[in-house]
Amino acid sequence: MKISTFNNQTIEVDLPGYQSDHGLIAIPALIDPHVHFRTPGAEHKEDWTTGNAAAMAGGVTTVVDMPNNNPPAIDYDSLMAKKRIIDQQLQTTNQPINYFLYLGATPANWTEFEKCRPEVIGIKLFMGASTGDLLVDKLADQEKIFAEAARLNMLVAVHAEDETTIKAQLSFRASEATPARLWREESPKIHSQLRPRSAAVTAVKHALALAEKYGTRLYICHVSTRDEIDLIRSAKARGVKIFCEVAPHHLFLNQSAYEAMGTRAQMNPPLRTPEDQNALWQAISDGTVDTIGTDHAPHTLEEKTKPYPASPSGVPGIENYLALLLNANNQGKITLKKIVDLTHDNPQKIFGIPETNDWVIVDLNQEKIVRDEDQKTKCGWSPYTGMKLKGWPIMIIRS
């Protein structure tokens, strides 16, 4: 069967038993620049066997994995040990995905950057605490990281939430009510207040200032607010070397999701307002947003259903985000060309990822409801469960 590509080329595809070719199209297989496949240290949530299956189901053949593991990937030895485990796990799969890794930043490991440079895609800096123990919240330490990365021409990716702002908000809330009363009356929707938008805005300002000062290539992960977008748009106009990522959960969910989803809607940075959602979509349209990274961060349902704040932050997303984007395409919110830009072409250029010539065949007319029982991820659930989506990946073609 001949299938047209998004740019009007054709490829030959064998689809035995498929009932209709109406609405079928081929697009380059996706690159997900932001995943947490939980290896090593938390393989009960995900490993590279189940992560591989989830990625392939979602049309993804290349991922960039984060370093906040147990132990974290923060030096050459821990990085290479992680690679050995990943390679062993991928040997058990029929079609192993391509992967790249970040080195985690600590207050003192900038001296490791040069040695690790050939093995990583960049440096991951947590400006605010999230899952795991990686945190660099002192300006003097951040300066060393940005300066050394600039010297080596390494990209710095930041989790942009300011730790001082978060701690101040927690202290303020604790002074208003006892923690037990606070969680009982307001959780889990209070998560978006305890990690306020001001924490994200402050961190982005600091990161931009450092990138501008040292000439560092900066990648801001999972931008969630209109204010961050405004800062990034302005910085790009000034010529700062900055790239901007948004996550599907910030595009397709907002703070209203807490009512129905409870702690399933808990992630860092938290869900924001519908106005912020609209600003993210506008930033996609005008080119301010460079990539979509899922921040695929699985936890088991047993863990996620613990009472807040014992529930961990993070949601899976890698196997549903192409379907979400195709559904948005059917709704006229985004073009196929823009989807390819955000999920393949731009990540490839930003991270220097070699071309694979992998394709994903999608059926623009297929309609399905997202169900937990269909998920390939080891955690076995999706934050988009119950959504009816039109447009789904149906097959991967590997080069």
Catalytic amino acids? 295
Within 8 A by CB and 6+ apart from 56, the residues are 95, 97, 376, 396
Q: Are strands 60-65 and 30-35 parallel, antiparallel or unpaired?
A: parallel
**CA angle, 206 then 159 then 148, to 5°:** 65
Looking at residue 156, the DSSP 8-state letter turns out to be: E
> What does the CA dihedral 216, 219, 221, 223 come to, rounded to 10 degrees?
100
Alpha helix stretches (DSSP H) within 38-161 = 48-57, 76-90, 113-116, 139-152
DSSP β-bridge partners for residue 283: none
C-beta of residue 318 within 8 angstroms of C-beta of residue 58: yes
C-beta of residue 312 within 8 angstroms of C-beta of residue 304: yes
Distances (CA, A) of 185 to 178, 180, 341, 352, 389: 11, 9, 43, 48, 34
